[in-house]
Amino acid sequence: MRRREFIVGLASAATWPAVARAQKPAKLPTVGFLGSLTQSAQNDWTAAFVQRMREHNWIENHTVSIEYRWAEGRSERLAEIAAEFVGLKVNVIVTAGTVAVIAAKRATSVIPIVFGTAGDPVASGLVASLARPGGNVTGLSNESADIAGKRLDLLHQVIPGLRRLGIMANIGDPIGVLEMGKVQEAARTLGLEAVAAEIRLAADIAPAIDMLNGRVDALYVVTEPLVNTNRIRLNALALEARLPTMHGQWAYADAGGLMSYGANIPDLFRRAGDYVDKILRGAKPADLPVEQPTEFDLVINLKTARELALEIPPQLLARANEVIE
CB 258 within 8 A of CB 244: yes
Confidence of residue 119 (pLDDT cuts 50, 70, 90): confident
Identify the CATH assignment for 30-142+265-294 out of 3.30.1360.200, 3.20.20.140, 3.40.50.2300, 3.40.630.40.
3.40.50.2300
The 8-class DSSP code of residue 241 comes to T
Question: In the chain, which residue ranges form alpha helices assigned H by DSSP?
Answer: 3-23, 43-55, 75-88, 98-107, 148-158, 174-189, 205-212, 225-229, 231-240, 250-254, 265-280, 302-307, 314-319
Q: 278 pLDDT exceeds 70?
A: yes
When mean pLDDT is compared across 2-11, 188-197, 214-223, 278-287, the lowest value belongs to 2-11
First to last CA, the chain: 83
CB 217 within 8 A of CB 186: no
Give me the residue spans of the domains in the chain.
30-142+265-294, 145-263+297-324
Domain 145-263+297-324, CATH:
3.40.50.2300
Q: Half-sphere exposure of 271 toward its Cβ, with a 13 Å CA cutoff?
A: 22
Confidence of residue 25 (pLDDT cuts 50, 70, 90): low
Average pLDDT rounded to a whole number, residues 274-294? 96
Angle between helices 174-189 and 148-158 (to 10 degrees): 50
- pLDDT tens string 88-113: 999 999 999 899 999 999 999 999 99
pLDDT of 2: 41
- pLDDT tens string 27-36: 899 999 999 9
DSSP string, 257-272: -SEEEEE-HHHHHHHH
Intrachain domains 30-142+265-294 and 145-263+297-324 with the same fold: yes
CB 81 within 8 A of CB 34: yes
Give the predicted TM-score (pTM) of the model.
0.84
CB 114 within 8 A of CB 93: yes
Burial 10-46 (b: 16+ CB within 10 A, else e): eeeeeeeeeeeeeeeeeebbbbbbbbbbeeebbeebb
223: closest CA among 244, 249, 197, 241?
249
